Structure 1
Amino acid sequence: MVSSISRSLPAPAVKPPPPHYQSLLTPLLHRRFVNAFFVCGAFCYFLAFLISDKSRFLWTLFPVMLFKSILLGLFSAMPILLLRIHQLHVGKRVQPSPFLAFQRAIGSFSTYTTIFIYALSSLVFAAIYLASSSPNDQLGILVEGRIHERPRLNERFLYLVFFATYLGFLQGIYHIANDRARLTFPEEPIASAQDAARQQFPNIAWNVGLNVLIGTVSGPLVYLPFRHPIWSWTLWFARRFYWLNRSAVLPSFPVGPGLFIRSAVLAAMIVLISEVAHMAFISFFIEDPFKHGKVITDKSMDPNGTLVTGLRSANKPL
């Protein structure tokens, strides 16, 4: 009798597992990434205004400048943010020795990806900067001669393109050497992303000054051994599209005081884009996992169980 009754009782309902912590955290991180991109987009809009032709003020304010800022945001700032996401880690990487660290970096695909992304970011800005220059700046790909002369290839243009690539290479090396992919959380909670951004201003000033100084001073020296090959190959290629002067002789060295100052300004803008991207990423991603003043696990029916699933996810840095 007892056995028949026990067999007729329904089995206790199986308690469903708690929702995974990452399923609650991922939407929050997506919103923070979008916020970081909006900050970069606003800064790109400001830079687009600086480098635009001010002769047509209303046209500069919206159509052309908006297009430039979109290009800068997508191809100069966004690659840096994606690089931070791809290489994100929290703990400090311990290397047995500097030599082994250098050896691993040389053989790592991530090293070349980092350098390529910084070079791409620099070249995109340099291309928009050169396209926005006025004819009086003489930064076009060609230099117009006299009425009876054919145009000549402009080495000032070639140098700035080389300089932007070289500066991207320097930034990539600086990123790897300082492990800028690491996300360091403060010991004391940060009140807001604005406070976190303000705390980074001294580091931004240092990084901009160091990269601009090294790049601007060493750029002409590094350009010297590449000068003749760059001139020859570009001249050969440009003659397929332009009716150029027949002379293939190198002109006088292009880097004078004017171009030196202009390259320093260009370097400052390029480095600032990457630094603002780093600042925005860090400022939003070091915030505590709160939403509307509440911990994100409050949405779960089992907050403690959800938190445990997050602690067990060793392969998830956040």
Structure 2
Amino acid sequence: MSTLAAPPKATPPRPYRRFVTSALHKRFVHAALIALLIALGNAFWLGSNRDLFWSWFPFGPAGIKALLFFLSSLLIFTLQIATLRIGKQTTTSPLATLRTSFLSAATLQTVILYLMSGWWFTEAYIWSAPDLGWITKGAHNTPDVLNERPIFFRLYALLLAIVYAGLHQYRGRSSLLIPVSKLPVTPSPEARAQDTHSLLPVQTRIQQRIIPAVVQSAIVSLSMMFVSPFIYGLFLRNVFWRIHLAIAKLFYNLSRANAHPIGYPLLGLAYLVRSVVAGFLLGLTWELTSNLLLVYLCQEPTKSGMPLSASSKDPNGTLLSGLKAKRDVVRTFAFWELAIIAQKHNDRRKAIFEDIERPTGPMWTQMLQAGLNVLQELQLRITGPPPVKPATPETVKSLPRLLPEMQTQSIFQADPKPTKTEWLASPLKQIGSSKQPWRPPIEQTAKQMENKLLEYAKPSGGESKSSHGLIDSWTTELRRSRLGWFFTSTNTAKINAAVLGSPYGNAAVLVDVIEALTKMQVASLTEDTYGKATPTVPDTVRTFTRTLNLVEDYVSQNNQGGAAGNEEVKIIVERLRAGLKELLAAFQVYLIDQGLGIAELNQAKKATQAPATIPQSQEKPRSKPKPIEPRTERRLFQNDKQREGPKDRHTRRKDQIGEVGGPTQSYEREPPRIEAPPAWSLPRTTSGPLFQRREMEQVR
């Protein structure tokens, strides 16, 4: 019998990160070719110019030297790719900046690779210079001497490497900054893709960075030349001399007279100038190399004018995998591509709307949820995580025990004494049976030290303070001191960290999400054949409204002085307001039918108005503090006109009936009462028929 073959499983789409990696590799090759030209220039300027033609011709000694210098640039490329991230640094205080930039694993990696790059550049330069050998040949009656010039230049290059490693971390040379553009004052239908990210051509951006790189390299190389001789002569001369002597003895026959350096370093002014030129070229190589890769990587995710995922067998599935990616670089480029599709490519938009037979749901619904998740992450950064409900452990009900367990040991037998092995092993058993074996003794020791410090810090005769109160007081005093600026966070930094993210803020992905969701849903009115996109508009309106209100409230609370530095946050607010306004204008007829409440619709309309343009009639009146009323007492035998204080219950009921029935109804008037001296008074709580009966008793 023939058996039915199982249906073939659907192959998963190719991940979007592979397309992004392929595009980044191509851009890396372009940057590496320019770096190779820079290395050829270094070979020309640092080589011997005896033959002008062979000093620059790439297929010769100059080409070999250029390849050696290029390896120095390749190490910086490796560093940037390994530590690549999106966005600028958004730490809240200088202390947090120091901890993030200089006290991390990426910092150690940066220093090591810069030292390796500087060392390789130094060896290539020393190898190409004939007077920078390991030893200086002596005459027929003088021994060979260790050459001190390459020793000094190696130290000089290593100091330059440390300085540039710090500049690399401080300026964020591994951060890909994708600029976000403001909304045009007069939007036109022709201005599409350039609205979200205003990028100049690659050649223009490279030309703009050449002059600052030259100036920076000249300043750093000259500054380090003034510092290096002092560091070398006072601290590191003997150390570097011994290291070079140990290596040189492996290849040369040196006398014992070279065991220690003698006198001052005989470098000469001409050699110092040569060292400055070589250091300048080394710094310029690092500056241009780090800028080249960032410029080439910061381009649209397109290939020959088409989105990167267009070459996939399943373009929509590939793009969806990028939208759901955890790595920030892949997700940023995926939403950038979705924004480009929403603005330019109507065929891809129709394909996304018509892709409704996926096992995981319609394609547009999944893409929309991925975009809304980004905005919900922004909301979570502002509001904070929800409180965690304490988990109630399940109690296992057991049968009641009527009698205690019977003892098997004899009650008259004494406990056996533990042996030495058991006595030594008992602490180890106690530690091994604990869930956290090393924590208890550490906590006890730390607690004892804390108590001793508190006793020492407590003033004589003063009340004892808790550790938290003492630490808080120390923190307050530290912030009030002259060093408080180092630990205090500014309002601008708080806003950027909350809205854009921390420690690195990515404004590009937020702008692309807003633009992509808005344009795609507006285009669904004419391109969605099955009408699957319209029911998703209310969720988008709710998310946009809540995000816009949260961001504006947070900015108004923390930026009362109007400090600058929140330009990207303002752009995000403008994009949210414009996108919400566009959705309301396009879907206002369908929103209530699709499940959006009237109150939510009014709230969304109110959010589209800028805070300065809200009319005064719609603004909520501010509640004024009520004045404190003086205590009044009702007095006996007093006319209604002269009586002060609250009305009795009977009169209040009549007043309420009068308010409901209208002013035309007539009511019975109370009979006039006999006046009495003001000395007779009762508490104000007395009212109603009981009060009338007491008045009659007083008259009698």
Does 1:141 find its partner at 2:138? no
Tell me: higher relative CO, structure 1 or 2? Use CA pairs within 8 A at least 6 residues apart. 1
Q: In structure 1, what is the equivalent of residue 214 of structure 2?
A: 205
Q: In structure 1, what is the equivalent of residue 524 of structure 2?
A: none
Q: In structure 1, what is the equivalent of residue 205 of structure 2?
A: 196
Residues 114 and 164 in structure 2, CA contact (< 8 A), matched pair in contact too? yes
Q: Would the alpha carbon gap of residues 249 and 305 (structure 1) be closer, same or farther in structure 2, given more than 3 Å must change?
A: closer
After superposition, residues 243-258 of structure 1 pair within 5 angstroms as 243-247=253-257, 248-258=260-270
Q: Please list every run of 5 or more consecutive structure 2 residues that lacks an aligned counterpart in the other structure.
A: 1-6, 181-196, 331-700
Does 1:217 find its partner at 2:226? yes
Query: Structure 1, residues 163-222: CA drift from partner, whole Å, max 9, x if none?
Result: 111111111111122221111123343353212212222432343133223322221122
Partner Cα distance (1:317, 1:127) in 2: 36
Partner Cα distance (1:249, 1:46) in 2: 36
Q: Would the alpha carbon gap of residues 309 and 233 (structure 1) be closer, same or farther in structure 2, given more than 3 Å must change?
A: closer
Partner Cα distance (1:304, 1:206) in 2: 47
Q: Percent identity?
A: 26
Partner Cα distance (1:185, 1:112) in 2: 26
Partner Cα distance (2:220, 2:138) in 1: 36
Partner Cα distance (1:237, 1:13) in 2: 66
AA of the residue aligned to 2:222: L
Structure 2 residue aligned with 1:239, among 241, 249, 252? 249
Residues 140 and 154 in structure 1, CA contact (< 8 A), matched pair in contact too? yes
Once the two structures are overlaid, the 10-residue window that deviates more, 88-97 or 119-128, is 88-97
Q: CA RMSD in A?
A: 2.7
Shift of 1:77: 0.8
Does 1:307 find its partner at 2:303? no
Shift of 1:106: 5.5
AA of the residue aligned to 2:95: F
AA of the residue aligned to 2:60: P
Q: Would the alpha carbon gap of residues 18 and 229 (structure 1) be closer, same or farther in structure 2, given more than 3 Å must change?
A: closer
Q: In structure 1, what is the equivalent of residue 67 of structure 2?
A: 70
Q: In structure 2, what is the equivalent of residue 181 of structure 1?
A: 174
Shift of 1:302: 5.6
Partner Cα distance (2:113, 2:291) in 1: 17
Q: Please list every run of 5 or more consecutive structure 1 residues that lacks an aligned counterpart in the other structure.
A: 1-11
Q: TM-score, normalised by structure 1?
A: 0.85
Indicate the structure (1 or 2) with the bigger Cα radius of gyration.
Answer: 2
After superposition, residues 91-130 of structure 1 pair within 5 angstroms as 91-103=87-99, 107-130=103-126
Partner Cα distance (1:111, 1:192) in 2: 32
More helix by share: 1
Q: In structure 1, what is the equivalent of residue 45 of structure 2?
A: 50
AA of the residue aligned to 1:185: I
Query: Structure 1, residues 75-130: CA drift from partner, whole Å, max 9, x if none?
Result: 20111111111100012233343334434555533222211111111111111111
Does 1:23 find its partner at 2:18? yes
AA of the residue aligned to 1:68: K
Does 1:264 find its partner at 2:276? yes
Query: Structure 1, residues 203-249: CA drift from partner, whole Å, max 9, x if none?
Result: 32343133223322221122121112222342344234322344244
Query: Structure 1, residues 13-53: CA drift from partner, whole Å, max 9, x if none?
Result: 98766543223222111111111111111211221122222
AA of the residue aligned to 2:151: L
Q: Would the alpha carbon gap of residues 76 and 65 (structure 1) be closer, same or farther in structure 2, given more than 3 Å must change?
A: same
Partner Cα distance (2:306, 2:30) in 1: 19
Residues 115 and 169 in structure 1, CA contact (< 8 A), matched pair in contact too? yes
Partner Cα distance (2:229, 2:201) in 1: 43
Partner Cα distance (1:152, 1:301) in 2: 69
Residues 210 and 288 in structure 2, CA contact (< 8 A), matched pair in contact too? no
Shift of 1:294: 2.0
AA of the residue aligned to 2:302: F
After superposition, residues 79-90 of structure 1 pair within 5 angstroms as 79-90=75-86
Partner Cα distance (2:261, 2:74) in 1: 41
- Tell me the secondary structure at the aligned position of residue 180 of structure 1: coil
Shift of 1:131: 1.6
Partner Cα distance (2:62, 2:165) in 1: 28
AA of the residue aligned to 2:282: I
Once the two structures are overlaid, the 10-residue window that deviates more, 161-170 or 211-220, is 211-220
- Tell me the secondary structure at the aligned position of residue 89 of structure 2: coil
Residues 75 and 117 in structure 2, CA contact (< 8 A), matched pair in contact too? yes
Residues 19 and 306 in structure 1, CA contact (< 8 A), matched pair in contact too? yes
Residues 231 and 250 in structure 1, CA contact (< 8 A), matched pair in contact too? no
Q: In structure 1, what is the equivalent of residue 237 of structure 2?
A: 227
Once the two structures are overlaid, the 10-residue window that deviates more, 120-129 or 237-246, is 237-246
AA of the residue aligned to 1:264: V
Once the two structures are overlaid, the 10-residue window that deviates more, 200-209 or 179-188, is 200-209
Partner Cα distance (1:47, 1:64) in 2: 13
Partner Cα distance (1:49, 1:157) in 2: 20
Partner Cα distance (1:131, 1:306) in 2: 50
Q: Would the alpha carbon gap of residues 177 and 141 (structure 1) be closer, same or farther in structure 2, given more than 3 Å must change?
A: same
Partner Cα distance (2:317, 2:248) in 1: 65
AA of the residue aligned to 1:235: L
Residues 175 and 181 in structure 1, CA contact (< 8 A), matched pair in contact too? yes
Residues 215 and 267 in structure 1, CA contact (< 8 A), matched pair in contact too? no
AA of the residue aligned to 1:67: I
Partner Cα distance (2:74, 2:118) in 1: 12
Residues 144 and 150 in structure 1, CA contact (< 8 A), matched pair in contact too? yes
Does 1:287 find its partner at 2:299? yes
- Tell me the secondary structure at the aligned position of residue 147 of structure 1: coil
Partner Cα distance (1:245, 1:151) in 2: 8
